[in-house]
Structure 1
């Protein structure tokens, strides 16, 4: 029972942190503000998270899990592989717009080894779900692909590459504003259209 209460309190803290992070940005949010929102002491927060960076990382993990679950739903119920791949971009667009103030690149600059490990896992997971969609497309006769895993990895790498190559110059903070993000999404959609034509059966 006590474990459940601890888990519940941790979730409440993360929910409160996410509200603040998504509205004001993680950098402008203080532990005092989160504690005030929850009507608890700052010490209570430190019982669950050693510092704000750890809370920030946990918030990113929570959002990341929801993001992947949404995408994996698409990879499990494929009627049209082409449409499923397009839907992945739409899911990405919704999540990034909603959680763009989470400042993931700020954490990356801070040199968190744990975050780097999580990023590697996330990339592998994204490649796997793209591979599942492409495999379903091959099985349905929609796609003609010999090396499914390599093709999925190439697609994910190209999509990620646009994130860094679309801006005219690489800014130090690496966070995208709405206008740049819209350009990246548009380029991703164009790339996917070309990619799908290339693997159509």
Structure 2
């Protein structure tokens, strides 16, 4: 029971931190503010997280779980592989729009190696899901592809690359403003259409 209470309190802290980070940004949020929101002492927060960066990482892990659960939904019942690939981009757009203040790219640069390992794992999950969609397209006759794994890897890496090549005024660790983010998404959709046409040829 005590373990359950600890887990519940940890979840409450993460929910409060997520609310603050989403509204004000992670950098502008203090541990005192999160403690005040929860009507607890700052020491209580430090019992669960050694510092704000550790809390920030835990929040991002929680978001990543929800993100891939949503992706899994999109890719589990495929009627059109092409539409499923477009739906993956829409899921990505929705999550990044909602959680743009979480400073994901900044922490990718400054975060500990365990977070960077998490980023690599997340990319592999996305490649795996995309590859499964392509395989479903091959099985239904929608796509004509010799190597689904290679094509899935190339598609995901290419789409991710637009995050860094479209903006002409940002360093790799800066967050995208809304207009630039929309440009990235539109170019991702155009690139995806080119891939889809190539796979249908």
TM (norm. structure 1) is 0.97
The CA deviation at 1:40 is: 0.3
SS in 1 for 2:10: helix
For 1:14-163, list aligned pairs within 5 A: 14-163=14-163
Q: Distance in 1 between matches of 2:65 and 2:50?
A: 22
Q: Distance in 1 between matches of 2:28 and 2:53?
A: 13
Q: CA RMSD in A?
A: 1.0
Q: Distance in 1 between matches of 2:84 and 2:118?
A: 25
1:104-152 C-alpha deviation (Å, 9 max, x unpaired) = 1221222410110000000000000001111111110000111111100
Q: Distance in 2 between matches of 1:172 and 1:133?
A: 29
**Paired residues, what number?**
201
Equivalent residue, structure 1, for 2:167: 167
TM (norm. structure 2) is 0.97
Contact 2:105-2:174 at 8 Å conserved across structures: yes
SS in 1 for 2:50: coil
For 1:168-183, list aligned pairs within 5 A: 168-171=168-171, 173-183=173-183
Which one is further off, 61-70 or 168-177?
Answer: 168-177
Q: Distance in 2 between matches of 1:62 and 1:111?
A: 16
Gaps of 5+ in 2: none
Q: Distance in 1 between matches of 2:102 and 2:109?
A: 14
SS in 1 for 2:99: helix
118 and 38 in structure 1: CA distance in 2 versus 1, 3 angstrom threshold: same
Q: Distance in 2 between matches of 1:93 and 1:125?
A: 17
59 and 144 in structure 1: CA distance in 2 versus 1, 3 angstrom threshold: same
1:167-195 C-alpha deviation (Å, 9 max, x unpaired) = 11333642100000000000000000111
